[in-house]
Amino acid sequence: MSTPSVRPERRALVPGTFDPITEGHLDIIRRAAQIFDEVLVAVAASPAKGGHGRLFTLEERVSLVRTSTADISNVRVEPFSELLVEFARRMQADVVVKGLRAITDFEYEFQMTAMNYEIERNIETVFIMSPPQYMYLSSSIVREIASLNGPFEQFVSPCVYEALCEKYHLDRTDCK
């Protein structure tokens, strides 16, 4: 009779700039945490997309992600500033998890996945589809709504809501 083999722990990496982290990001992180033994949320230090500066510093983004995911026991948050697959290898992650909202996300992520595979063939990429209520949600949309003093509380965690109120100097009774 053979002894059952022990499955090695599976560590997944969920990368992003998280400027700021949204409920859509949190949904993907929570779902990944149900699938994998450990989820490492990797906050990218990379410059802003489109050449514009970031709203939050790397340190602020890491802090907001840590606070927003504090209730998920198997999640860890780390900043990174190297190639994603090199960071994944260094962190001993087996899988990179990416959220997909629409076909445009797929086209971009497909190219990135192919390039990452050419660099590091031992790290797989897994896509998790966003549920319908988050398919339109992005950090840039949340920033725009907040900057125009629109309603955005439902799209972010309480700590991010407060941080956005502070960044945009919003005088709201519900902003602490």
Which residues contribute to the annotated binding site for ATP?
Answer: 17-18, 25, 99-101, 109, 134-140
Catalytic residue among 11, 68, 130, 139: 139
Rounded to 10 deg, the angle between the 158-167 and 139-147 helix axes is: 50
Annotated binding residues for substrate:
17, 49, 84, 98
Catalytic residue among 49, 81, 90, 172: 49
Task: Tell me the Cα Rg of the chain.
Answer: 17
Distances (CA, A) of 50 to 2, 35, 39, 46, 133: 57, 33, 28, 12, 26
Catalytic annotation on 25? yes
Catalytic residue among 11, 31, 61, 101: 101
Q: How far apart are CA 120 and CA 130, in angstroms?
A: 26
3-state secondary structure of 38: strand
Catalytic annotation on 169? no
Catalytic annotation on 176? no
Q: Which two tokens stand for residue 18?
A: 């998280």
Catalytic annotation on 139? yes
φ, ψ for residue 156 (rounded to 5)? Answer: -140, 165
DSSP class of residue 92 equals T
| 124 beta partners | 95
φ, ψ for residue 42 (rounded to 5)? Answer: -100, 110
Q: How far apart are CA 128 and CA 75, in angstroms?
A: 17
Annotated binding residues:
17-18, 25, 49, 84, 98-101, 109, 134-140
The catalytic residue positions are 25, 49, 101, 139
